[in-house]
Amino acid sequence: MKKLFVFLGDSGSGKTTLITELMNKHPDKFMRVVTCTSRSKRVGEEDGKDYHFLPREFFFNNQDLVLSKCLENSDCYGTRKTELYSDTHHLLLSSKPTGVPKLVALGFMNIVVVRIAISEELKIARMQHRGDTKEAISGRLKSDVLTANNVDLGQIPIIDLNASQTIYEKIEIVLKVC
C-alpha cells in the first residue's frame, strides 16, 4: 500500500497549493483524496474531482465516512474510507490535526504528516491576496486558533515545512519520503 500524506496547516499555509503541484508535477505518484460535501457546487467545480457533492442526509449514520463533520444548520463534510486506499498512488489529504489520531485508530499505518508552518503576517497577506474579505480573514484566524491544539501524533513520521519555502523546495522534501 502507498503512503497517505496528511497535510496540516493554518489557512493560507499552502496545503492546497502543494497538493495540487504534487499531482500536476508527478501524476504517476500522487492522487488527491476527494472528500464529500453537502454544500452546493461553486463555479468551476466538478463532482468527483473537487468534491463528491451529496445530499446532507448522506452524512448521518454513514459507516463509510471518517473525519466527518456537519456544521450546525449548514454544510457537512467527510471522507469515505474507501478513498483512503491505493496500490498505485500516494494519497494526499488535507485535514485538521485531530483527524490524524482518528485515522490511526481506524488502522491506517501508512500515514506521513506534512505540517506547514506560517507566520500570522504571511497568512493575512495571502488571504488578502486571494481576495478574502476582512470578515472571512477574521473568521479563519479565529478558527486556526481553535484548532491549533497539540495533538499527540505518536510515532507517525512528520515532515515539517515552512510556508515561506518555495513550492519546489517543498516538493523535493516530500519526494524524499516516497
Residue 40 lies in a domain: no
At 145-167, the pLDDT tens digits run 766 556 778 889 999 999 999 99
Average pLDDT over residues 136-145: 78
Pairing of strands 76-80, 36-37: antiparallel
The CA-to-CA distance between both ends of the chain, in Å, stands at: 12
CATH for 118: 3.40.50.300
Read off the DSSP letter of residue 9. Answer: E
Residue 75 lies in a domain: no
- pLDDT at position 147 is 63
What is the rounded CA–CA span in Å between residue 99 and residue 123?
22
At 55-110, the pLDDT tens digits run 999 999 999 999 988 877 788 999 999 999 999 999 999 988 888 999 999 999 99
Pairing of strands 4-9, 90-94: parallel
Residue 157 lies in a domain: yes
What is the rounded CA–CA span in Å between residue 45 and residue 55?
16
- pLDDT at position 30 is 98
Residue 131 lies in a domain: yes
Range of the domain at 135: 4-33+84-175
**Owner of C-alpha cell 474510507:** 81
What is the rounded CA–CA span in Å between residue 139 and residue 147?
12
C-alpha cell at 90: 500516494
CA 140 remoteness from chain centre? 15
Give the count of domains, the chain. 1
Residue 165 lies in a domain: yes
Residue 63 lies in a domain: no
Residue 67 lies in a domain: no
Q: What percent of the chain has pLDDT over 90?
A: 61
